[in-house]
Amino acid sequence: MNHSNTRRIAVIGLGAMGGAMASTLHKAGWEVTGFDPFDAARAAAEAAGIATTANLGDVAGTPYAVLSLPAASMVETTVPQLLAAPGTMAIVDTTTSEPGTSKKMAELAEAQGAAFVDAPVSGGRDGAATGSLSAFVGATDAALTAAEPVLLALTGGKYSHIGGPGSGNVVKLLNNVLAAANLVSVGEALGVAKAYGIDPVKAAASISEASGGSKVSAAMYPNWVLTGTHDSGFSMGLMARDAALAVDVAAQIGETPSLLAAVANQWQEALAILGPRADFTEIARTVAPAVTPAGAPDTTPRRLT
């Protein structure tokens, strides 16, 4: 097998995550071609030395592909176009997608002699830029073997094979809705501490060393909320979407997680106030505005001009 041929990879979606993953693959010696419909995204990738195209058809049949897309619907329209030419070996979908979509795409790929794995990732843009993401993988054993070179490049081996197609999506959505719940609960707790005259920084540090600690209290609040920077790079719109999707996925099999549903609703309320482009850590501004220098959001209705 031609080694140079099998090191060719297309990255579909060159936003914050996709662009960083493309750069990581490029640095690791892969021959990367990035696709994105937006000029600015392609320009940023080109500045990092990555070849790009505005035509998805140009990368059809590339041996490997990584998807980093906003929604499951875009995965469904993209995969058939990638498979329209022969040569595809494995498609790794890092999108926070839906299990039904991944099952259909896996069947489609298998029918054409290719592999499709759902591998939604965690670790943010920093993890994407350093090849240290973690991934929740749903795939058959054969598909996982085909996709493993890409997974290793993106995660350094930090991926979990959850089960068959779609299972990675389920667990990633559950992970995100739990993080969403924790962002609210930690904010409320630190708000109580602040009301008692306790420094939220000290409270968060103490809690993080005890049974109530988490990545939210140990890193997210100290780094992005208590500083007032709110610059994690992950949007309010995406987290609100993921929380809602987690509840929808549960409902599809007859489960009714009441606490998670309440959390999802709270994120929809914050979304209506802050807008989809706000950083997801700005949820603290709605549940505990006193603990962040950014303060409470402006809820004054804007006049139409």
Active site residues: 172
- The residue type of 206 is S
Token look-up 């997680």 returns 257
Strand partners, 216: none
Nearest in space to 137 (alpha carbons), one of 123, 155, 124: 155
Check the CA dihedral 233-237-238-243 and report its sign: positive
- The residue type of 240 is A
DSSP summary character for residue 139: -
Phi, psi of 92 (to 5 degrees): -105, 115
- Structural tokens at position 160: 């979990």
Check the CA dihedral 256-136-65-6 and report its sign: negative
| 303: enclosing H helix or E strand | none
80 alpha carbon, distance to own chain's centre: 22
**31-35 and 90-93 beta bridge pairing:** unpaired
- Structural tokens at position 193: 């501490």
- Structural tokens at position 211: 């049974």
